[in-house]
Structure 1
Amino acid sequence: MADDTSDSQLPQLVYVPEVDLEDFEDYAIGDTLQDGRYEVIHKLGYGGYSTIWLARDNRWQRYVSLKVLVASEGSKSAGADMIRRLHTGSDTTHPGQQLMPRLLDEFSFAGPNGTHVCLMQEPAGCSIAASKEKSVNFMFPVETARSIAAQLIMGLSYLHSRGICHGGRLHHPALSYTHCSRNPDLHLRNVLLHAPGLEKLSLDELYKLYPVYKAPITRMDGAPLGPHAPSYAVYPMNTKVAADKLVDPLIKICDYGTSFLPATEPSPTLHTPPLFLPPGDFFNEPITLAADIWPLGVSLYEVLGERALFEFFSDDRDDILADVISTLGMPPARWWSHWENRKDFFEKDGAWISNM
């Protein structure tokens, strides 16, 4: 499939979309990379800028996570640079370092869409968000929730000790929040659980536990498939563990593709869903490491409780800010006085306008 994503236009649909499947690229189960060293054997997931495959490292006889970036991401990966920074010249005594992904290998290959950067890491399981969605009551056991919360705090502490802000700067201005299936920010879809014992499974055992389910690929216009499109798409492995059944969790904080260093890149434009934007961004205040604290707090609330703290049904910033104030109370005076549209929602004393 031609890679239509650019900074000036949104991707155009060529193939009929399937639920839980990404835009199709030129690889499938059975493909090998790096002169046969890595064999693609299943799919772990996908996001707005990449597909993550489970591969077999035939040199070291182990399973690895193979993250293949879309060709439009160029020949270098900012995420790889950040991961290297997390494990280079750092304080190995910090308890949060073990919660960081480790880059095992990095290479590129040329395809019909351009050059794809591949990042090799240890495989991980489902996200914290997916675990909650699978449970009956959307709740973790108390000790499990406390453990996840503590790990999130330790992990963010380590990130900040390395000068990294996880919250993503704007990467593709043309992609709106609704067009990105995953967002590279500090939220529960980017917090993954440790893989469920994959290293102990033979390939036959793995396929028995996690069968490969395929879907045929068809074009929107009914034309024949292009020469570089696979004949089928693969659904991700179902590694979800229900939140109410989860004990002794070990998490990994992932996705650094749009993370940045505030010391060298002050006040970038954030590529963040409105729900996770720090309130200061609404008022054009400088973006610092503190930008991660708001999404951390929102995530901790969701980990420790049943529902999300905010459940917005609008991308309008004023609507969102009004809901935040309704939930948490009056903001600092400097924000309240500079919010031009507050009169549409609140009286001068902070009371809701009666006709709303």
Structure 2
Amino acid sequence: MSSSSSSSGSEEEDEGMDSYRKGGYHAVRVGDTFSGGRYIAQRKLGWGQFSTVWLAYDSLTSKYVALKIQKSAPEFAESAIHEIEVVSVLTKNDPDNKKCVIRLLNHFKHTGPNGQHFCMVFEFLGDSILQLIKYNRYKGLPLNRVRAICRCILTTLDYLHTQLGIIHTDLKPENILLVSTINPSNDPNRSKKGPILSKPDGSMNNGGGFVVNAIEKRLKQRARQAVARISARRASLGGFRPVTKGDRCFDGIDFRCKVVDFGNACWANRPNAEEIQTRQYRAPEVILQSGYTYSADMWSFACTAFELATGEMMFAPKPGQSYSEDEDHLALMMEILGKIPRKIAIGGLRSKDYFDRYGDLKRIRRLKHVPLARLLIDKFKFSVNDARDFADFLIPILDFAPEKRPTAEQCLQHPWLNKSSESSVQKLDSEMSKLQIK
């Protein structure tokens, strides 16, 4: 999980049984009901440090919803009240449902053996774009798909920043969900199965349903690992990769998406913490503690866009024997983006931990500078034009000076974002025509 204590559904396999105690999670079984029998639990969708999220059937509206059940300790209840306040504002100010933000449908309290839990009912959405990246085997999505997702995210950020004065503070692929699932059979609205309306046999015995779910999950995990090992072995035979970038079929996948998880969001005039953002998407001003505003979200957006297009995180820092994870993070930034201006390097509350008075890193002296466009061409095999155009879009958003970064509204007007998806086809036709015998 993120160091910013995200309350989003996690990509880890299991939240562990030890947190199902007083003040912790509420143990849910398939068929359990909430809010006077209105919502019926169907299956677990995910979990975070603050909550578990379940697919539920709303018996009043006959629709599927996502039910987020917060841990019961006072600090988690406080966090839930904050999230309800923020998401209520988001939903109220978007009556036409055009701002690409998750909608809060209801909220209530549920009393269980571990205490009283705040529950939030959200619209049911699909897979995260991290799962989309995994689906494509971490190879990066076609650029026209990346543009479509970026437009949705920027629409959200423009709405948050310009209209509402809210900073998300934890933008990352896990917190951006497609409006429907990648695999139609996982979508209760598209699959042929009807809702579960009562508890399956045996699920009432000592939390049996919960334990069965955990065992089933571990068996599935082992099966996936076995498949991955076989695939890796096949790939190594003969020293070639048997799959190509175009192998995954994207037909039928709806690339519209929505930003979720506002548990850590704050109003710009009321910042809620010094350390925000999940590590890999954290802006330099947050690391240096020199103050942050809307532009910190823009940094996270640029990191997310890069990951969509390449399949890899832009910055994945690790601590070394003589330097911290933070210092490695700053070094990785400078290797792609150039030296941090001295004024910015020494201007934060934590600057002295990493920089000397000249603005040089104290413990990492040798940097391998590879400009972004060059990295896209050499490592990720982008064409020269695609690399140049994508870098032109990202570089201004990754300015070390937060006040110089373009706003979400300005990014929505950028030529790269408004390129026709046909341009690459036209370019290919043009190149082919040049090869014709004159």
Query: Matched residue of 2:157: which SS?
Result: helix
CA distances 1:16-36 after superposition (whole Å, capped 9, x unpaired) = xxx712234421111111221
* Pairing 1:297–2:318 present: no
Q: What is the aligned partner in structure 2 of residue 198 from structure 1?
A: 188
CA distances 1:219-246 after superposition (whole Å, capped 9, x unpaired) = xxxxxx988995433568x9xxx99433
Alignment-mate amino acid for residue 304 of structure 1 = A
Moved more, 152-161 or 305-314: 305-314
CA distances 1:164-186 after superposition (whole Å, capped 9, x unpaired) = 1000xxxxxxxxxxxxxxxxx10
* Pairing 1:254–2:256 present: no
Q: What is the aligned partner in structure 1 of residue 364 from structure 2?
A: 345
Residue from 269, 273, 292 that aligns with 2:274: 269
Q: Is the 8 A contact 1:267 1:288 kept in 2?
A: no
Query: Matched residue of 1:292: which SS?
Result: helix
* Pairing 1:232–2:238 present: no
**Partners of 2:72 and 2:134 in 1: CA distance:** 32
Residue from 163, 166, 174 that aligns with 1:164: 166
Q: What is the aligned partner in structure 1 of residue 173 from structure 2?
A: 188
Deviation at 1:267, TM superposition (A): 6.7
Deviation at 1:203, TM superposition (A): 3.5
Structure with greater contact order relative to length (CA < 8 Å, sep ≥ 6): 1
Write 1 or 2 for the structure with the bigger share of helix.
Answer: 2
* Cα 1:227/1:31, change in 2 over 3 Å: closer
* Cα 1:336/1:59, change in 2 over 3 Å: closer
Q: What is the aligned partner in structure 1 of residue 82 from structure 2?
A: 78
Deviation at 1:138, TM superposition (A): 2.4
Deviation at 1:92, TM superposition (A): 5.5
**Partners of 2:180 and 2:257 in 1: CA distance:** 9
Q: What is the aligned partner in structure 1 of residue 249 from structure 2?
A: 245
**Partners of 1:231 and 1:198 in 2: CA distance:** 23
Query: Matched residue of 1:44: which SS?
Result: strand
Q: Is the 8 A contact 1:83 1:256 kept in 2?
A: yes
CA distances 1:89-115 after superposition (whole Å, capped 9, x unpaired) = x366795x1x11111110111112211
Alignment-mate amino acid for residue 195 of structure 1 = S
* Pairing 1:318–2:327 present: yes
Deviation at 1:201, TM superposition (A): 4.1
Q: Is the 8 A contact 2:126 2:177 kept in 1?
A: yes
**Partners of 2:364 and 2:173 in 1: CA distance:** 30
Q: List 4+ stretches of structure 1 deviating above 6 A.
A: 225-229
Moved more, 113-122 or 272-281: 272-281
Q: Is the 8 A contact 1:51 1:69 kept in 2?
A: yes
Moved more, 21-30 or 127-136: 21-30
* Pairing 1:284–2:289 present: yes
Query: Matched residue of 1:107: which SS?
Result: strand
What is the alpha-carbon root mean square deviation over aligned residues? 3.2
Alignment-mate amino acid for residue 46 of structure 2 = G
* Cα 1:52/1:267, change in 2 over 3 Å: closer
**Partners of 2:177 and 2:97 in 1: CA distance:** 20
Query: Matched residue of 1:343: which SS?
Result: coil
Q: TM-score, length-normalised on structure 2?
A: 0.60
* Pairing 1:20–2:10 present: no
| Runs of at least 5 residues in structure 2 that lack an aligned partner in the other structure | 1-11, 18-25, 182-186, 221-245, 355-360, 370-438
Q: Is the 8 A contact 1:149 1:304 kept in 2?
A: no
| Runs of at least 5 residues in structure 1 that lack an aligned partner in the other structure | 1-18, 168-184, 217-224
**Partners of 1:255 and 1:311 in 2: CA distance:** 22
Q: Is the 8 A contact 2:179 2:257 kept in 1?
A: yes
Q: Is the 8 A contact 1:31 1:39 kept in 2?
A: yes
**Partners of 2:142 and 2:294 in 1: CA distance:** 31
Q: What is the aligned partner in structure 2 of residue 42 from structure 1?
A: 43
Query: Matched residue of 1:30: which SS?
Result: coil
Alignment-mate amino acid for residue 278 of structure 1 = A
**Partners of 2:111 and 2:154 in 1: CA distance:** 39
Q: Is the 8 A contact 2:64 2:124 kept in 1?
A: yes
Q: Is the 8 A contact 1:191 1:252 kept in 2?
A: yes
Q: TM-score, length-normalised on structure 1?
A: 0.73
Alignment-mate amino acid for residue 112 of structure 2 = G
